[in-house]
């Protein structure tokens, strides 16, 4: 029996063991969705290098582990959680995928707005969850199917029409237990002319675990959503995440993706745009050691007059591997599409690898679409200039590297969150004698 068959059997057996313990197990519609997802997973299996969209990412190393769902959260020093919290935010904390009410802050939530953990939403608002869960057609590959089958909790945000949440909504996911499989499922719905800011933080201890997350984002007509995703897990973590965005007419979604941690990381972003919708996707990935991080985006322009902007940067050092795959699809009815995709890459080592694959697929006549890619090293003239001003080579290299990255940090609206991301970035270069105020 090969590795793929062993993995299929392993997860089918795990589902048999835990299915009656998952949230909403008593609801026929949810149990049906879970079993359908497991059947789809059984049919398609996990993606491999023969799948074109996964050709740069090997999951064999992940498959060699027997990760299992855990029944309780592991123990952790609460200060490790608190130091990640924003001071003025609505906060939901999850440890090993389990909601921690004592560490969360759910104050000042406006009337008729629902912000809670998904298990509580399934219990108290099952009609809302049934309406919106998996409306983005999220079961697009084996990992997302596994999430639908196994998810037990996550965040649930439902904002009725004409309400804007002024405080950030912060979701902290902290992995603790070695060998654990976490399957958080987040569901964010902003109805007509509503808005919110979501900040996702993924982190944890040095134990080896597997996080397989799905976030669904539904933006109603004229809604505005900003999502900052910060992944800074340990270098022993396997992290597969999928974000599915569905934008109604005149909706606006900004998604900013920062990847610093993880041993093997894959992030899928799929966005569907209705008429006059606008999406802005940006990302910064920094890899070193033997890290492997793969960002894959697909933007579907389905109706006229929509706008999309993609701006991703990769920095690769040591023997690491960074990948960017971006695909813009303009359907036949999507006239007057305006789309631009940029991917800039910085190689800091001869042994590091960067793969980039931008694609345009255009079936409409009247469009404005462009993409650009650069891959290079630090400019020697700039290094020479800094060295001539008395800086040592390490500091000079790091100043230029941080300068390359800082453009994307400046897009973070929250000053507190920006500082948090900047500090996480700086910790990836502990040898650097550099001050934050230099950047």
Do 262 and 385 fall within a single domain? Answer: no
Look at residue 21 and tell me if it is in a domain. yes
Do 257 and 399 fall within a single domain? Answer: no
CA 280 and chain centroid, separation: 14
Chain segment 17-28, per-residue pLDDT in tens: 999 999 999 999
Report CA-CA distances (Å) from 294 to 57, 139, 394: 7, 19, 27
Using the predicted structure, report yes or no on whether residue 118 has a pLDDT greater than 60: yes
pLDDT class for 433, splitting at 50, 70, 90?
low
Chain segment 386-432, per-residue pLDDT in tens: 999 999 888 889 889 989 999 999 999 999 999 999 989 888 875 55
Do 87 and 205 fall within a single domain? Answer: yes
Do 168 and 20 fall within a single domain? Answer: yes
**Which one of 226, 246, 274 terminates a domain?**
274
Look at residue 299 and tell me if it is in a domain. no
pLDDT of residue 439: 52
Do 85 and 227 fall within a single domain? Answer: yes
pLDDT of residue 7: 79
Prediction pTM value: 0.95
Range of the domain at 388: 379-439
**Which one of 274, 296, 329 terminates a domain?**
274
In whole angstroms, what is the distance from residue 3 CA to residue 198 CA?
Answer: 38
Using the predicted structure, report yes or no on whether residue 243 has a pLDDT greater than 50: yes
**Which one of 225, 258, 274 terminates a domain?**
274
Chain segment 320-375, per-residue pLDDT in tens: 999 999 999 999 999 999 999 999 999 999 999 999 999 999 999 999 999 999 99
Q: How many domains does the chain have?
A: 2
Structure tokens at 150: 């196994």
Report CA-CA distances (Å) from 23 to 52, 121, 179: 35, 10, 21
């Amino acid at each position: 029996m090969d590795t793929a068959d062993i993995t299929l059997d392993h997860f089918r057996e795990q589902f048999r063991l835990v299915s009656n313990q998952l949230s909403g197990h008593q609801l026929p519609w949810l149990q049906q969705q879970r079993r359908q997802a497991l059947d789809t997973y059984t049919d398609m299996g996990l993606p491999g290098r023969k799948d074109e969209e996964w050709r740069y990412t090997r999951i064999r190393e992940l498959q060699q582990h027997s990760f299992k769902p855990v029944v309780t959260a592991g123990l952790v020093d609460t200060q490790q959680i608190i130091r990640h919290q924003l001071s003025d935010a609505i906060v939901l904390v999850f440890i090993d995928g389990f909601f921690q009410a004592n560490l969360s802050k759910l104050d000042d939530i406006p009337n008729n707005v629902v912000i809670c953990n998904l298990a509580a939403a399934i219990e108290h608002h099952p009609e809302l969850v049934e309406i919106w869960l998996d409306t983005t057609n999220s079961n697009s590959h084996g990992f997302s199917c596994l999430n639908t089958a196994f998810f037990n909790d996550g965040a649930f945000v439902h904002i009725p029409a004409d309400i804007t949440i002024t405080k950030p909504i912060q979701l902290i996911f902290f992995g603790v237990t070695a060998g654990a499989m976490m399957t958080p499922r987040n569901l964010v719905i902003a109805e007509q002319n509503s808005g919110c800011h979501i900040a996702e933080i993924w982190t944890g201890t040095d134990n080896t675990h597997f996080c397989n997350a799905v976030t669904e984002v539904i933006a109603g007509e004229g809604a505005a959503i900003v999502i900052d995703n910060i992944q800074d897990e340990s270098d022993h973590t396997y992290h597969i995440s999928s974000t599915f965005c569905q934008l109604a007419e005149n909706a606006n979604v900004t998604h900013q993706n920062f990847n610093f941690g993880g041993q093997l990381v894959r992030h899928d972003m799929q966005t569907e745009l209705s008429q006059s919708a606008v999406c802005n996707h940006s990302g910064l990935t920094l890899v070193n050691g033997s890290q492997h991080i793969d960002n894959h985006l697909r933007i579907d322009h389905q109706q006229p007059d929509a706008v999309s902007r993609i701006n991703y940067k990769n920095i690769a050092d040591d023997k690491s591997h960074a990948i960017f795959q971006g695909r813009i699809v303009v359907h036949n009815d999507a006239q007057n599409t305006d789309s631009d995709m940029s991917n800039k890459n910085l190689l800091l080592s001869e042994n590091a690898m960067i793969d980039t694959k931008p694609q345009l697929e255009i079936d409409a006549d009247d469009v404005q679409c462009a993409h650009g890619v650069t891959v290079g090293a630090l400019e020697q003239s700039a290094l020479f200039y800094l060295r001539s001003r008395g800086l040592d080579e390490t500091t000079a290299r790091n100043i230029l590297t941080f300068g390359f990255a800082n453009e994307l940090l400046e897009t973070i609206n929250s000053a507190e969150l920006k500082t948090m991301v900047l500090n996480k970035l700086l910790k990836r270069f502990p040898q650097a004698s550099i001050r934050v105020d230099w950047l």
